[in-house]
Chains A and B, each alone.
Chain A
Amino acid sequence: MADEPLVLGIETSCDETGVGIVRGHTLLADAVASSVDEHARFGGVVPEVASRAHLEAMVSTIERALREAGVAATDLDAVAVTAGPGLAGALLVGVSAAKAYAYALGKPLYGVNHLASHICVDQLEHGALPEPTMALLVSGGHSSLLLAPDITSDVRPLGSTIDDAAGEAFDKVARVLDLGFPGGPVIDKYAREGDPEAIAFPRGLTGPRDAPYDFSFSGLKTAVARWIEAKRNAGEEVPVRDVSASFQEAVTDVLTRKAVRACKDEGVDHLMIGGGVAANSRLRAMAEERCSAAGIRLRVPRPKLCTDNGAMVAALGAEMVARRRPTSGWDLPADSSLPVTEPHLPGTSDAPTDSHGQAHPHTHDHDHVHELSRENLYS
């Protein structure tokens, strides 16, 4: 399958510096440098700390990915990069690196959407995405139900969180329980030894008149915090395992219930789950159960492909190449609030192209280019 596009993808939207290399639907390398430990003592991702770490790790992570994949940079067909959404300063490091790399190698550049990449990564695990794909994206930054008839050009938001992201709720509950940051893995661990029905925590936005596909985890987080405080105030020991299990049950119950309903309503027989929270063991088990009961085929990539990584960006970039989508310009911006409805950011369509087919936007009008001799610098 050597004619499938060989693409390098760069991801720096949050705290992971990710560089992945794929050939079509085949994963060749997935190099990640994380700054999560530097953020732990702040209880969340500090944007400036993340941006500094991206600059430190960028070039060495690119080189590591190339070594892992065993390919030469000159053999790449394109360079893809997360253009947004994400932390502005963090995105800018990856976007700048991708532009420089693509330019130096004479390769086309694709600025792509982080959320669409989270969906597209599943092609590396389970082959071509069905069309349309129903996707539930859950992480520290996103909780969305998306319907994607074409991952490269048509992604429709059905619903999203109206307050906290699912992963954020895990982080905040872990903080109240003094379990550290990030909260997802540690709560998952304690929950395995707890009773998910010990405490009846609320299921947000599940009433008959509530938006069917939107999520709310802020009320749940507050309810958990109040319950823990009441225990502490009464001088009783907090049952960390039962609290973790009951909280996790409430989150996964709402997520899977709404996702399955969306599949049924839209007549889609596949459900893809991505994002860091997709690594949660209870979410996987419950989704498996409910999907099989509803006759829906569940697709969840392995945990390392669910969290932020460069392979997912490369996967979407490869799809852009395969479908001959227009490339991005050298003036590609980092767009911290890039809407999910824009799977990628093409350059201006009337831009001239060079020998590599790369678009060059017109930016000559307001610029100042001139010949200088050494003398006029001193005079």
Chain B
Amino acid sequence: MLLLALDTATPAVTVALYDTDGDRVLAASDQTDARRHGELLLPSVDRVLREAGRPLQDVDRVVVGTGPGPYTGLRVGLVTAETFGAALGVPVLGLCTLDGIAYASGLEEPFVVATDARRKEVYWARYSDARTRVGDPAVDRPSELPAEVTAMPSVGAGARLYEEVFTGLRTDLPLDQSAAALACLAAEKLAKGEEFPPPRPLYLRRPDARVPANYKVVTPK
């Protein structure tokens, strides 16, 4: 089975093509640019498929990171995955973005994953090992997290950003989301017949209900 995995919930724009029969990543692309997810994603998908020499029509499942993540970028990956799914007639499988980072860490002990949520906050979740999340992801100020959480081994760009709080930061482990890891995790779950969450965004915050002073004014002056 051929899996196309993508994730735009963090500053990374990451795409991977994974063959579950050979248990291997055929091609992957990782770029980091928090403001150009929309421009980078489709060219990345195109390159990965060309690199692997497989057309999109060969893909059997689309796997997408559902966040949590800053909304504008997060939506790029989700709408792309959903539209691929609709056009190809294949299922779209959601996976929590933090679970991908946790899986890539390979840790066998309890730890915490944190990504940058901006506004001086992090998206975070606890894990008992690389495959097992404890509870739902949340968004908080690092300084307001329980001491037992911030003292755990920690991975992710959010932990790096607030290194003074996340004292257990594992600098030897990958900081950013990788679609290759997400695809491996999805392959494992598929093999075990596990359920996937729907490909819906984990925003974790309510929208800013503020109408800009010049709302709707889009004509150049």
Tell me the A residues contacting B by CB distance below 8 Å.
13-14, 39, 42-49, 51-52, 54-55, 58-59, 62-63, 73, 84-89, 92-93, 95-97, 99-101, 103-105, 114-115, 137, 139-144, 157, 160-162, 164-165, 167-168, 329-334, 336-337, 339-340, 360-361, 363-364, 366-374, 377-378
Q: Which residues of A contact B26 (CB under 8 A)?
A: 371
**Are A46's CB and B39's CB within 8 A?**
no
Among candidates A45, A92, A115, residue contacting B216 with C-beta atoms closer than 8 Å: A45
Flag whether B83 is at the interface (Cβ < 8 A): yes
**Are B48's CB and A48's CB within 8 A?**
no
Stretch of B117-125, B135-143, B145-153, B203-211 contacting A (4+ beta carbons < 8 Å): B203-211
**Are A42's CB and B211's CB within 8 A?**
yes
How far, in Å, is B186 (CB) from chain A's closest CB? Answer: 13
Q: With the chains together, A140 CA to B178 CA distance in Å?
A: 42
Flag whether B29 is at the interface (Cβ < 8 A): yes
How far, in Å, is A165 (CB) from chain B's closest CB? Answer: 6
Interface size for B (C-beta < 8 A) is: 61
Among candidates B25, B178, B180, B219, residue contacting A143 with C-beta atoms closer than 8 Å: B219
Q: Which residue of A lies closest to B52 (CB)?
A: A371
Q: Known contacts A85-B219, A104-B83, A340-B219; decide if A367 and B31 are in contact (CB<8 Å).
A: yes
Q: With the chains together, A115 CA to B217 CA distance in Å?
A: 12
Q: Which residue of A lies closest to B46 (CB)?
A: A330
Flag whether B134 is at the interface (Cβ < 8 A): no
Q: Which residues of B contact A377 (CB under 8 A)?
A: 25, 104, 178, 180-181, 184
Flag whether B9 is at the interface (Cβ < 8 A): no
Q: With the chains together, A369 CA to B30 CA distance in Å?
A: 7
Q: Which residues of A contact B23 (CB under 8 A)?
A: 374
**Are A168's CB and B217's CB within 8 A?**
yes
Tell me the B residues contacting A by CB distance below 8 Å.
16, 23-31, 36, 38-48, 51, 56-57, 71-72, 75-76, 78-88, 104, 106, 178, 180-181, 184, 201, 203, 207-212, 215-221
Among candidates B38, B78, B210, residue contacting A95 with C-beta atoms closer than 8 Å: B38
8 interchain residue pairs of minimum CB distance:
A104-B87, A44-B211, A48-B207, A100-B83, A141-B216, A85-B218, A330-B42, A142-B219
How far, in Å, is B69 (CB) from chain A's closest CB? Answer: 13
